[in-house]
Structure 1
């Protein structure tokens, strides 16, 4: 999801209650109701296996799969398939998928880039002919090939133990029998219906008499059940080369679209090597572009020499330094992150300590940067979403993120298939010569990023924070909360977050930051800190909602795992 919608009223109600009771709100990592120095809810401990997803029912599905002998990858696939049904506001088989897997047998990490490419018949000239300066957020033009189903089968081929038909069975059953819609999902669904109902197939398949399902109301999707059954029986080719693909081809031909059967048939995701930086003795791992994961590594490199622990969580120094590091990393993100098949990204240099030292000279402790230029080629010479994580009894850990991009995606829902296509192509730039310029058969800049942390070559943490440009900012904040500020796994996610907005973007018209942008602060930071940030030149806003969604699993040094789930969403961490 690119720009999350305003948060549900629940968060405001909790804030009002705390204020009415006279409870402190500025204590670091304080519980938002009691003010005590513990998280909103406890960490979850489990001796054998654990799952943390954004929906309680999908967490239970993942546990059931592992109890029946499935691997963490089997469980992740089963949960992700169900999330496409239960949380269509964030993901589905019309979107893309990325994953990092720790394999206990080989004692190494494996990365998978499951992003799809633009239609081969669509050109930059076509957008120019239509007088467009940006790719529209909805409708047929931003649609790219969905990579999720291919990603499931690639992961399963290497790490799965259960038949794919068994992994997809829970989602099929819930799609036919129904499930109650959860609160946050119902909120976002309701917000999406007015925007997307004009697109063919959406209203018929994703509303109840033209409206979104309400909290607690039962939702069924028999069309999606039929689609998943075809995939369960026919494998990934049932989606990319079978009847489903022909239906998709006919649908886009009839609705001013360009995605074709040939585009689907040609799709393949790819295994990629994760990249890392060491932060205070911990190796933090991300996937290389076309995603934005290395921005988190750049932020951490820039901040490492500063003694954040001595400044304290929520101090003006902590928030100021983080914001300035983010600005520097995002300037490079706008210039250098793109599909490497079309534009080479100097990843090794961007995430090096020497480069961070060079760029760190631009940071002032007393004044906010208003403009930031990316590194030049000489200096570098040598993209709603769900996040989930699963760990099994054998030590396999999966960090997986999946998305339709903006809200419920493009709104394009082929008849009888029960899913919506992503609008990830909106992230292309309609400008010749830009690294992320639109081209046929090209992968767009991607916001969704899974993360992983190892310590001394052993798995330590599988985690992610969904939410557009918030994601690398969220990744870095979680790492800092755990390592610098000594928070536990749940506290690290519950602690108030900041989000800087307004950096130069790698998408759309790629406008350049000239005013320092805006700093969004979640409730929980002191007014003294806010005032001092403003004195240093930051434009501070109090925004409700754009702070992402966190799930995490940590290896328990005493055996088993520790889990945490986002308190701002409907999710659950649970194990056995």
Structure 2
């Protein structure tokens, strides 16, 4: 299944919901730049894709400045509450942090701060104008997308448990149907306050105080003081070279470095000589992923709390060592990763001034913590539920700490200019899907839409499963499955274009400055050029 791949010369927007893409195109046509459009798209996604993202979650931005050529990044992930320690949960009889409800709300949402930070540095249109589309969709409503309707079925129990979610995302207590009008007046009020008073309304202002006080009242570790203390940060992107391209990711606390490690390993071979739809390809990819995930799981956490040896992990000699180990282990290696949520929204925007924005945001699980403190319209993320209560592990819960983060927007340059913006929904799947897209374009010479539509693999596990499997989209490759099982993999065929495999978006920029946009056929998305 192939979506139309639009091309344009003035700009491009790719997002997992067509209303968000439409918003980005409108902002560009209204005189805004790529950053204005990206913030508007991000805010609209928080309204029309509420099961995946919202102002109660986190966001990461990777930005190419068309004026200076500089690539910058903003880490918009929230820190844990000041009182967050393992004993708080252990003394209540928990062996792990609950995944839903007030006790799952451990970290301050960083998204609104991230919007303000990137807009303040690079934006051109008035702040209120950038926020206006999101407010309108929250106030006037929007038709439920297939994805939203599907998740209200899957999450019926959680939606019924929270009064706000029950009233907003169910019809008489039952799931939505595609096309049902969804109106969020309380979220509209919150967004209107952010538009009028800026990011402080969410942190030191009325909204932050109301959410923090309600959360603390309901038993969460979060307080109004935690909201007031929040600040995201500008960070230096990390990168590696791959076959005459430079690939950029955010540094820890994100897992972006794992993709760079995978590319360094694969650069040791002529990948294009391996048939893309062969068992040898899927085996090679999976074993490469395992090597990177071994180090990711060993080290990744907030670098302010533990040293992460990035220089060694991203070095070419270390990649050669890992590659050498793989060649002497032709069978599938054992690796058991932690179960992760997979619900995220990635989008990208580029304009004809050379500005390019790759960004991603999430509530962590579908509908996050499934908890809306005080009925204020803001669903709090449950990202902090991924912290460990075991103080022997790097990602142990500690006060004012950022957790291991799956979110990782990607950017690729060629000859010093933006070449590709890419990213996807999914926890374990984010580096793997980016790897599929990158190798599809660079090694197998596909266009961005073809690369996104490729059959995907997904190694690892999501929350609720007890074992790692190698999931492969079922496109009549039964012989591949049996041969992979002979290698020692536990293969789990999934349906063709299965949403479980992530929802990727991307923008390719040619040497002539032509934008090609792609939206995943597995999503409700659309790419729109202007």
* Residues 91-138 of structure 1 deviation map (CA, whole Å, 9 limit, x = unaligned): 000000001001011102111100001111232111110222211110
Find the partner of 1:172 among 114, 135, 138. 135
Contact 2:429 2:458 (C-alpha < 8 Å) held by counterparts: yes
Q: Note if 1:126 corresponds to 2:88.
A: yes
Q: Note if 1:496 corresponds to 2:447.
A: no
Q: Note if 1:159 corresponds to 2:118.
A: no
1:431 maps to which residue? 390
Q: CA RMSD in A?
A: 2.0
1:297 maps to which residue? 260
1:354 maps to which residue? 317
Contact 2:168 2:182 (C-alpha < 8 Å) held by counterparts: no
Distance 1:546 1:416 in 2: 30
Distance 1:525 1:286, change over 3 A: farther
Give secondary structure in 1 for the equivalent of 2:188: helix
1:462 maps to which residue? 421
Of the structure 1 ranges 310-319 and 234-243, higher mean CA displacement relative to structure 2 is found in 310-319
1:111 maps to which residue? 73
Give secondary structure in 1 for the equivalent of 2:102: coil
Q: Note if 1:334 corresponds to 2:297.
A: yes
Shift of 1:201: 3.3
Give secondary structure in 2 for the equivalent of 1:440: coil
The 5-angstrom pairing of residues 88-487 of structure 1 reads 88-143=50-105, 144-364=107-327, 367-371=330-334, 384-487=343-446
Aligned length: 522
Distance 1:83 1:433 in 2: 38
Give secondary structure in 2 for the equivalent of 1:227: helix
Contact 1:550 1:565 (C-alpha < 8 Å) held by counterparts: yes
Contact 2:279 2:484 (C-alpha < 8 Å) held by counterparts: yes
2:529 maps to which residue? 575
Distance 1:413 1:372, change over 3 A: closer
Distance 2:162 2:403 in 1: 23
Give secondary structure in 2 for the equivalent of 1:542: strand
Q: Note if 1:535 corresponds to 2:494.
A: no
Contact 1:565 1:572 (C-alpha < 8 Å) held by counterparts: yes
Distance 1:214 1:499, change over 3 A: same
Flag structure 2 segments of 5+ consecutive residues without an equivalent: none
Q: Note if 1:60 corresponds to 2:14.
A: no
Distance 1:272 1:93 in 2: 21
Contact 1:320 1:365 (C-alpha < 8 Å) held by counterparts: no
Contact 1:92 1:420 (C-alpha < 8 Å) held by counterparts: yes
Distance 1:253 1:439 in 2: 18
* Residues 482-533 of structure 1 deviation map (CA, whole Å, 9 limit, x = unaligned): 111111110000010001115xx9x99xx9x8xxx42111122622222221
Distance 2:301 2:129 in 1: 37
Deviating runs (4+, > 4 A) in structure 1? none
Give secondary structure in 2 for the equivalent of 1:323: helix
Q: Note if 1:522 corresponds to 2:469.
A: no
Shift of 1:467: 0.6
Distance 2:513 2:209 in 1: 50
Distance 1:428 1:298 in 2: 24
Flag structure 1 segments of 5+ consecutive residues without an equivalent: 1-31, 33-39, 375-382
TM-score normalised per structure 2: 0.95
TM-score normalised per structure 1: 0.87
Shift of 1:252: 1.3
Contact 2:152 2:169 (C-alpha < 8 Å) held by counterparts: no
Shift of 1:416: 4.2
* Residues 285-307 of structure 1 deviation map (CA, whole Å, 9 limit, x = unaligned): 11111111111111111111222
Of the structure 1 ranges 365-374 and 312-321, higher mean CA displacement relative to structure 2 is found in 365-374
Distance 2:381 2:86 in 1: 19
Contact 1:363 1:369 (C-alpha < 8 Å) held by counterparts: no
